[in-house]
Structure 1
């Protein structure tokens, strides 16, 4: 999970480093590339050095705020006015505005409402503090210490949506997802979320979160990303800033893979943006 330090962004980089230290691995590595840019990562790479950084002190109990309202399965409003988007997960849409209800959306909202509305929670933030909607990004914990993000995934109400550099609890979340899939809980039992074979599929007719299965045929490098080509012309776009989290991309070629995410189109090409290997599953 590399981070690049440019220009005068030293204060921001220090904040990022402290967030990384509090992640599950608790280690930060630094290295320079051929262009002289400084990178930070939670995983060692050739030529990197491990930094010794002490995490900031925090109270044992943390700060708790009451949940005033649950909007859907992954967004809540706190009584202090903060709108919070739960990190590392995605739940299906509920009906509202221009959005149509997706299978499992109301069930996820009902579960979160039952568990959190009117209760006090503690937030743990990661590297990025807000999304582009101005919502706080956080892992949410109850007063009993329950990790709500993980529970939503474990019960099958949510799928993982790993978005580097926010990698706190990533291993726990992926393990919870694997258990839910194995036990066919929640979304994993619904026909709408069954894996679809790419061959002969009408990609233009796909809405929402998808599971697509196909054989990887080759890898191309572009300016800012790598493209993993699949049968039927489908593509996985892997941003270069995220590629160090993956095994060598060439190792995927020839394998049957399941891509998890949202289908996009640019020109005549259909693709998924894959930012973490958790969304690229070997079948």
Structure 2
């Protein structure tokens, strides 16, 4: 990768990002688009309606249940399913709010789900520590609110955040080699902007996090500052190897957590 470097640049949370997490964002819509009844809760992020349609809850990823061998289910999978059943309640009535994409590649409906009382169930699952935040495609209507609830659960060490299975992996060649979507944690060793105006954040001198200039949603939240080099950051993504380097390209702000966002740094996985 060709680069023109005048001097190192350093990245930090801007005042706008700090205010983002100081002021709670709402998970409530202006109005609901549809009311349905639930036939079955499949797991912590998927339900089946009485009309037979499956709905995948937008914005969260709950532990997977292995229905062929339940003992092989991910930690907290059954607790997540039970919690979602409790949140829906005995009326089994849910209110739907759609986002930009309504159907996923598995032909499931996609929606933000609220119970009969109007409680956002994604936010509740994140707050209980029984799901992780995820943004797929352009469906990010309540992402800042969901981020706040996930961060609160992490800091309080609730649910999955007490289990090493769910902790981020330490950035190293052997952990990046899986080429799977993971959370990674590492020390910020360098930051610079190349000749294409892509900002590169380097973790543990091994993982290069690319933020292109046109990713305005990310750049609006971050400003240049020398103070964060040496601090730790968490990044979410699927590493790929290119020109001798492991890389992750950021396309959404939810993918990175900078120093200061977490009151308690997680104990990362070494393997």
Same fold, TM-score > 0.5, yes or no: yes
Structure 1 residue 193 and structure 2 residue 166: aligned? yes
TM-score, normalised to structure 2, is 0.68
Structure 1 residue 132 and structure 2 residue 108: aligned? no
Q: Secondary structure at the match of 1:137?
A: strand
Structure 1 residue 108 and structure 2 residue 80: aligned? yes
Structure 2 residue aligned with 1:276: 252
Q: Secondary structure at the match of 1:202?
A: helix
Q: Return the alpha-carbon distance in structure 2 between the equivalents of residues 106 and 209 of structure 1.
A: 22
CA contact (8 A) 2:237 2:255 kept: no
Distance 1:61 1:275, change over 3 A: closer
Deviates more, 1:219-228 or 1:257-266: 219-228
Deviation at 1:221, TM superposition (A): 5.5
RMSD, aligned CA: 3.7
TM-score, normalised to structure 1, is 0.66
Q: Return the alpha-carbon distance in structure 1 between the equivalents of residues 93 and 37 of structure 2.
A: 4
Aligned residues: 229
Q: Return the alpha-carbon distance in structure 2 between the equivalents of residues 178 and 263 of structure 1.
A: 21
In structure 2, the gaps of 5 or more residues are 1-24, 260-271
Q: Return the alpha-carbon distance in structure 1 between the equivalents of residues 193 and 100 of structure 2.
A: 30
Structure 2 residue aligned with 1:157: 130
Q: Secondary structure at the match of 2:177?
A: helix
Higher relative contact order (CA 8 A, sep 6+): 2
In structure 1, the gaps of 5 or more residues are 1-22, 26-54
Structure 1 residue 210 and structure 2 residue 186: aligned? no
Which of these residues, 61, 64, 69, is aligned with residue 35 of structure 2? 64
Distance 1:190 1:210, change over 3 A: same
Q: Return the alpha-carbon distance in structure 2 between the equivalents of residues 151 and 273 of structure 1.
A: 29
Deviation at 1:117, TM superposition (A): 7.5
Which of these residues, 34, 41, 57, is aligned with residue 86 of structure 1? 57
